[in-house]
Structure 1
Amino acid sequence: MRAVVIHGPHDLRLEDREAERAGPGEVEVAIEAGGICGSDLHYYQHGGFGVVRIREPLILGHEVAGRVVALGSGVDGLAVGDRVAVSPSRPCGACRYCLEGKPNHCLHMRFYGSAMVFPHIQGAFREQLVASASQCHKIADGISSAEAAMAEPLAVTLHAVAQAGSLLDKRVLVTGCGPIGALAIIAARAHGAREIVATDVMAPVLAIAGQVGADRTINVAEDAAALAAYGADKGSFDVQFECSGNDRAVASGIGVLRPGATLVQLGLSGTETSLPMNAVTAKEIAIRGSFRFHAEFGLAVDFINRRRVDLSPLVTGGYPAEQAVAAFEAAADRSRSMKVHLAFGTA
């Protein structure tokens, strides 16, 4: 079995690994498509992020979809040949946070492709993956594996929407229009947002933001005043989804949020982000973090299966696993790529 393995910064290799076999309650999935995430890029470019560093070879990847090729004992509801999106979220179900209904904060989380613990949790960029049957969600006919693999980042933004509360008839600001920002636009629109304004510093990603549902896009590198104008009369927006992890995006967003608004922070950066606390206090801004997801994965697959969301504008490139380095280089180039996928079979 071939797998895409990171050994250090810019040291990405396609290697042979021994294939696992399904045990009770598990299935074997032939992976067809795997989306390259921002965390995968951090491992590729820097060998990690923040204090997290690669300490042993790590199979990357956690946004995957494929086809069931074998069943372990006791599996119901799945059959060989079913196409599935695989949730990378594997909480223990027994720690204090799992028992409190917060499985995304599991103390013993096994999330594919993560160097946060040692030994590392090996990822899903491989030809064959063993997963719990509960992680596997059927894909409808006509849905490509590349689209289905985007259920994971869509679930991230659905969790963020839940953190924000009702978006019905709300005015929403999305700062940072990479894949998560674009999906936040899609999720906000699906949940009833009345108006969505999106900002970034790059024209290509803003063009896609407009395609997927933003009512207005603003290039703040060229026209910061266009966003600042929304700060009149103490602000205009009810909710900000901050997807860049950039200090200036946080501050400019708070400047245009209205009193009592909510800032939902999704973007992570390599350093701590500062906050304009005087404005937060004076406008009584509620700040909510948003980390991963759990139950939202099934909802994301349902949205995709029922064509309630159109993710096709975000699928901007596909490479065979043999060209993994080229795929990662393309994914890192925001001027030409939104979501790049590795293909391990027919996707």
Structure 2
Amino acid sequence: MTENLGVVAHAANDLRVETLPEPSPAPDEAVIAVTYGGICGSDLHYWRHGAAGESILREPMILGHEVVGVVERVASDGSGPPVGTTVAVHPATAGAGGPRFPADRPNLSGGTYLGSAARMPHTQGAFARRVALPTRMLRPLPPGLDQRTAALIEPASVAWHAVNRAGDLSGARVLVIGSGPIGALIVAVAKRAGAAEIVATDLREEPLALARRLGATRTLSATAADEIAAVDADVVFESSGSARGLASAVTGATRGGRVVMVGLLPAGEQPALVSLAITRELELVGSFRFVDEIDEVIAALADGSLDIAAVITQVFPMEEALDAFAVAADPSASSKVLLSFGAPPVVE
């Protein structure tokens, strides 16, 4: 058995590939041999800044929550799929005894997420060759679904949730601000949801080309303020995570339109065109992670109605995680960058 290497953030600019102890699963946990993991913006923030928003690294933390793998050892309580099952991972654990939230929206419960420093001790992530995960997180994948593409299931679920927050998109004119991985996935999901016109923006041509490949009918430079304002979109998705992007979302929305805020802006007060939102009677709607949309994403990938493989631009061996993170941090050179953990096939 190969050593259990993992990708661990120790502090800002201190990312290490190091040997981890073998997983010691609880009764309701299975051991997963990870095959692929996608590098998320939060992973990049922990690497570059030692924090993601208000979640600050206070101890070494294994990164990663966008993973797919194979069940290597079943849970001792008998729950979960059998050995050899390929699974995607729903990385959230709903909170208990915390803030009030609607019962059907546990993503608002203040719970935990794999690879998050929001609490102490931190919630360790899944960028390792072998990890122990609760069986409730595991989603068996249908035969034939490419595991590389399956590594996109978690971020695609974020995009699917955002589209659900927008309401019915049939025949709608849609504007997507920011065509990074999440924005690109929103384009693909919005196309599947029946949007008649999808306009995507970004500062760089490479993400715009990807957006067109995934279904954008037109693309604009993020600096083209007048052209963005003229889009007059029924629904706008703000996925840039910037105050300027939010301003473009407000100006690009039609009167009475809806702005779905997906990109996470920095903590603290942010400038916003509130008076324009009021006089246009815009609906500003937040979108945070996802609930059970992961099951719909898996079904859509399996039946071919959602085609998102183009979002993956590079795959690095996990031993080259530092190089992979550097590429993932350059939006002119990449969209979604995957780590390959080299898990061999598991046979029961």
TM-score tier after normalising by the smaller chain length? over 0.9
Counterpart in the other structure of 1:20: 23
Determine whether 1:300 maps to 2:297: yes
Any idea what SS the aligned residue of 2:22 has? coil
Does 176-185 or 16-25 show the bigger shift? 16-25
Structure 1: distance between partners of 2:311 and 2:58: 33
Q: Name the residue aligned to 2:151.
A: 149
Aligned-residue CA RMSD in angstroms?
Answer: 1.8
Q: Distance in 2 between matches of 1:274 and 1:92?
A: 31
- Report the identity percentage: 39
| AA aligned opposite 1:321 | M
Residue 331 of structure 1 corresponds to which residue in structure 2? 328
SS of the residue corresponding to residue 249 of structure 1 reads helix
* CA distance in 1: counterparts of 2:167 and 2:102, whole angstroms: 23
Select the residue among 286, 294, 299 that pairs with 1:289. Answer: 286
CA deviation string 1:240-260 (max 9, x = no partner): 000012222222221221111
Shift in Å at residue 90 of structure 1?
1.5
1:35 matches 2:38: yes
Contact 1:261 1:286 in 2 (8 A): yes
Task: Specify the code of the residue in structure 1 equivalent to 2:331.
Answer: R
1:210, distance to aligned residue in structure 2 (A): 0.3
> Secondary structure of the equivalent of 2:93?
coil
Match of 1:233 in 2: none
**Alignment gaps of 5+ in structure 2:** none
Give the SS at the match of 2:131: strand
User: Partner letter of residue 157 of structure 2?
Assistant: A
Match of 1:263 among 259, 277, 287: 259
Deviation per residue, 1:14-33 (Å, 9 max, x gap) = 11121223333321110000
SS at match of 2:118: coil
Comparing 77-86 and 133-142, the one that deviates more: 133-142
Q: Any idea what SS the aligned residue of 1:334 has?
A: coil
Report Cα offsets for 1:280-335 as digits up to 9, x if no partner: 11110011001111211121222222222111111101111110100000100111
Q: Which residue of 2 aligns with 1:312?
A: 309
Letter of the 2:272 partner, please give it. L
Contact residue 31 and residue 132 of structure 2 kept, 8 A: yes
- 1:7 is aligned, of 2, 5, 10, to 10
Give the Å deviation of 1:57.
0.4
- Cα offset, 1:96, TM superposition: 6.0
Letter in 1 for 2:105: K
Give secondary structure in 2 for the equivalent of 1:322.
Answer: helix
CA apart distance, 1:225: 3.3
Partner of 2:81: 78
Q: Is the 8 A contact 1:238 1:262 kept in 2?
A: yes
Corresponding position: 1:227 with 2:224: no
**Structure 1 residue 341: Cα displacement:** 0.7
**Equivalent pair of 2:236/2:252 in contact (CA under 8 Å):** no
Q: Secondary structure at the match of 1:185?
A: helix
Farther-moved stretch of structure 1 (45-54 vs 278-287): 45-54
